[in-house]
Amino acid sequence: MSSALEGKIALVTGGSRGIGAAIAKQLARDGANVAITYTSAKDKADEVVKEMEAIGRRAIAIRADNLAAEAMDLAVNETIAKLGGLDILVNNAGILHTGPIEDFTLEDFEQTIAINVRAPFLACRAAGRQMQAGGRIISIGSNLADRAPRPGLSLYSMSKAALVGMSKALARELGQKGITVNVVQPGSTDTEMNPADGAFADNQRARMALPGRFATPEDVAGLVAWLAGPGAASVTGSVYTIDRGSNA
């Protein structure tokens, strides 16, 4: 079993399912002790924790409502208190609202910004106060930040584009402390949010330079784990798109 992250402590937001769960388990396989956050799926979060504990890692699940402004401060503090520090932060939790702009409500806007932008910002703020040199911050964005292939994506694309601007600026700021900050932008990935047999799946596959299938959560997790590890020590302020060439 790889030990590239042996002794490291990671926090993965939204780690109870999909891409977040795959990231948490990959970091654990690479040697990290891992905290995950969840909103309501406690049973799924507990399953992920048990899988990580089964390979000898320390792991905890933290209930955190990303709509609450204090949630990320509390999650970071609990991770440090129970696992002994924080070396890796993965901002993964997110929400997707789609539709014509004229149909969006103010509640839709505020919820999207709270979960997709404010929560990662506050998590980065809390982590930046605690992390030492060698720390890693990785935010999960979307290839839809670069290009919207169909109508109805204005709110979601805006929120994911905000992660890029924030991360590039934080890379400059936190680099003074030896902390790297990067973004991973998945494209069509087979999850509950965007299943490979969903209504738009055929159109998504048709745009891929590597046709035939969606990416898997494990594909994304592998890239995140590399960015979290020693091989990416000189990588910061960068955006990695993993979408099987959908933007090619």
Q: Which tens digits make up the pLDDT trace of 46-77?
A: 999 999 999 999 999 999 998 898 999 999 99
Provide CB contacts within 8 A for 61, sequence distance 6+. 15, 16, 35, 36, 37, 38, 42, 45, 46, 48, 49
- Please report, for the domain that includes residue 185, its CATH number: 3.40.50.720
Give domain status of residue 240, yes or no: no
Distance CA 124, CA 91 (A): 8
Residue 38 catalytic? no
Residue 102 placed within a domain: yes
Q: Report pTM.
A: 0.93
Average pLDDT value for residue range 181-191: 82
Element holding 62 (H helix, E strand): strand 59-63
* 69 within domain boundaries: yes
Q: Report the mean per-residue pLDDT for the chain.
A: 92
CA distance 160 to 27: 23
Q: Is residue 123 part of a domain?
A: yes
pLDDT band at 214 (very low <50, low <70, confident <90, very high): confident
pLDDT band (50, 70, 90) for residue 242: confident
Structural domain boundaries enclosing 19: 9-234
Tell me which residue of 214, 211, 235 sits closest to 224, measured CA to CA: 235
Number of domains making up the chain: 1
Question: 35, 64, 143, 156: which is the annotated catalytic residue?
Answer: 156
CA-CA-CA-CA torsion sign (213, 216, 220, 223): negative
